[in-house]
Amino acid sequence: MKKIIKKYFFLAFAITMYSCNEDEKYDILERYIPETVTSDEIAPVLNLQAQYMDSNSETVLVTWMNPEDKFLSKVEISCCSANDNLLGEPVLLDAVSTKVGFYQTSFPVEERGYVKIVAINEKGVRSEARTAEILSSQQNFVYRADYLMSSVIELFFGGRYNAWNENYPNATGPYWDGIAAVWGQGAAYSGFATMYKVAKETNNEKLSAKYAEKEETFLNSIDIFLNNGSGRKSLAYGTYIGPNDERYYDDNVWIGIEMANLYELTGNEVYLQHANTVWNFIKEGIDDVTGGGVYWKEGAESKHTCSTAPAAVMALKLYQLTKDESYLDIAKNLYSYCKDVLQDPNDYLFYDNVRLSNPSDKNSELKVSKDKFTYNSGQPMLAAAMLYQITKEEQFLEDAQNIAQSIYKKWFKNYHSSILNRDIMILSDQNTWFNAVMFRGFVELYKIDKNDVYVKAVRNTMEHAWQSNCRNRLTNLMSDDYTGSKNEKKWNIKTQGAFVEIFSLIGELEQLGCFQE
């Protein structure tokens, strides 16, 4: 064993993000510590993770967050083989409450092992140990999704309202102690729901159990945004927690889609009830002004692609779950409206919104806002793919393929990845939440026609992003700059939830054999 240790294992160096204790020459238990100022117990570290820095290196980066304890003194780090043999002597590092710590060591790539950390207070009281398997940089995307989701939960979730914060590091205010608006809450919920779905569908029992335990917590969390104040007809999710807060149809439909997905996954009627609640609200946003479509929010004058196209998707999902033909009928109408009113006939992509040029005259000309975003074309693509699966009408498949080709042409560009050592088509749009919604359409279309060009381009983008500085090694959080050239200091919950969703969907495709050469 000593020869193995000498050959394969050595400590490269340790780095901490906090100041060192000046009293290093004394052992912890030899210091004079008044009995009244330290606790007889200490919480363990949080968010412990260990991963090889890249595929060609034995360097392992270990990151964690120290517990909140003003008498925290040290953390003890140990490396162990898969059969629990200790490799080398444990290392003691000075520690400061709630600070993120990181440490680099070496571990043979061909071995399997794990890292163990124990927090120690000024009296020498030791916490419960926390362990983390050392993950390969080439670990499949299901594990990457879980790796990221674990960080997101630790760094964003909780607080006074037991909800998702808008940013990390969190700045309290200006509303509700810094928690995200319901758009951000929904993005995190989509990340969770997709992670859970893929874990179950790929028969990963460990991850399935892990996220099953989160179901009630995250459902209760998002439900604090429900309101029907001011005599409104239906219950719906408000932008913030207030009983009279404004309510957007697009914010609600994203949540409603996930409720339908979770009902399909678990069979829990609570999710179907939530989906029906959202759907009843969405129907209130549909009328014949501008020829149909769904308003952006209550009281708005504009009909938006981002509310109308996902409403079609949600209706199709409810049809698949219930076989109620009324859902299929309304989905077809909403999809046709998007094509007739909001699609650019020259490139098959979709505009942002439309309104009457004279709001008081229903017969006035339509005024179209012609901005184009990835998600506004991704959702009609998904609706078309789903309509083809249901009806087998070739026109829907042709529609989806035309949209996919145009998205690829507009928002992907050639890029040389020095990390992957090859040229790739990288996603150039830098709104990850938009791109996650778009990617749903690519995934559904691939399952039909098996054309892997588009999903491979997204996978290559995410592979480069994961291995580049796009991923912050201390927080494990991701930047919207997929090339990794931006030094991010602040991270948003919408972006992180979207990355979890994209990684999960890529993991699903990996299980289907999509990326096998």
- Amino acid at residue number 328: L
Please say whether the beta carbons of 435 and 502 come within 8 A. Answer: yes
Q: Domain check: are 325 and 427 in the same one? A: yes
In a domain, 23, yes or no: no
Within a domain: 35: no
DSSP 214-257: THHHHHHHHHTTEE--TT-SS-EE-SSSSTT---BHHHHHHHHH
Does 63 lie in the same domain as 100?
A: yes
> 114, 134, 154: which is the final residue of a domain?
134
What crossing angle do the helices spanning 493-511 and 182-201 adopt, rounded to 10°?
20
CATH of the domain at 71: 2.60.40.10
Report d(CA 327, CA 91) in Å as an integer: 61
The whole domain housing 96 covers: 46-134
Q: What are phi and psi of 154, to 5 degrees?
A: -65, -40
Domain presence at residue 18: no
**Among 136, 103, 109, 125, which Cα is nearest to 44's?**
125
Question: If you search the block for the tokens 């042409």, which residue do you land on?
Answer: 409
Domain closes at, from 119, 134, 149: 134
Between CA 330 and CA 340, with CA 334 as vertex, the angle to 5 degrees is: 140
Cα(448)–Cα(266) distance, integer angstroms: 25
**pTM attached to this predicted model:** 0.80
> Tens-digit pLDDT profile for the chain (517 aa)?
434 433 333 333 333 333 323 333 333 333 334 444 467 899 999 878 887 776 567 888 898 889 999 899 999 999 988 778 888 899 999 999 988 888 988 887 666 688 999 999 999 999 999 988 787 655 689 989 998 999 999 999 999 999 999 999 987 666 688 999 999 999 999 999 999 999 999 888 989 999 999 999 999 999 999 998 777 789 999 999 988 889 999 999 999 999 999 999 999 999 999 999 999 999 999 999 999 999 999 999 999 999 999 999 999 999 999 999 999 999 999 999 999 999 999 999 999 999 999 999 999 999 999 999 999 999 999 999 999 999 999 999 999 999 999 999 999 999 999 988 899 999 999 899 999 999 999 999 999 999 999 999 999 999 999 989 999 988 889 999 999 998 899 999 999 999 999 999 999 999 888 987 6
Question: Same domain for 52 and 178?
Answer: no
Q: Identify the domain boundary among 134, 158, 178.
A: 134
Do 201 and 345 fall within a single domain?
yes
Q: Take residue 327 and report the two structure tokens written for it.
A: 């859902």
- Structure-token pair, residue 152: 């997101």
Among positive and negative, which fits the CA dihedral 466, 471, 475, 477?
A: negative
In a domain, 393, yes or no: yes
The domain spanning residue 415 has which CATH number?
Answer: 1.50.10.20
In a shared domain, residues 210 and 283: yes
Is the domain of 100 the same as that of 246?
no
Does residue 235 lie within any of the structural domains?
yes
Number of domains making up the chain: 2
Question: Would you call the peptide bond into 169 cis, given omega within 30 degrees of 0 as the criterion?
Answer: yes
Residue 171 located in a structural domain: yes
- Residues paired with 165 in a beta bridge: 179
Name the residue among 315, 317, 308, 314 with its Cα closest to residue 343. 308
* Residues 289, 391 within the same domain: yes
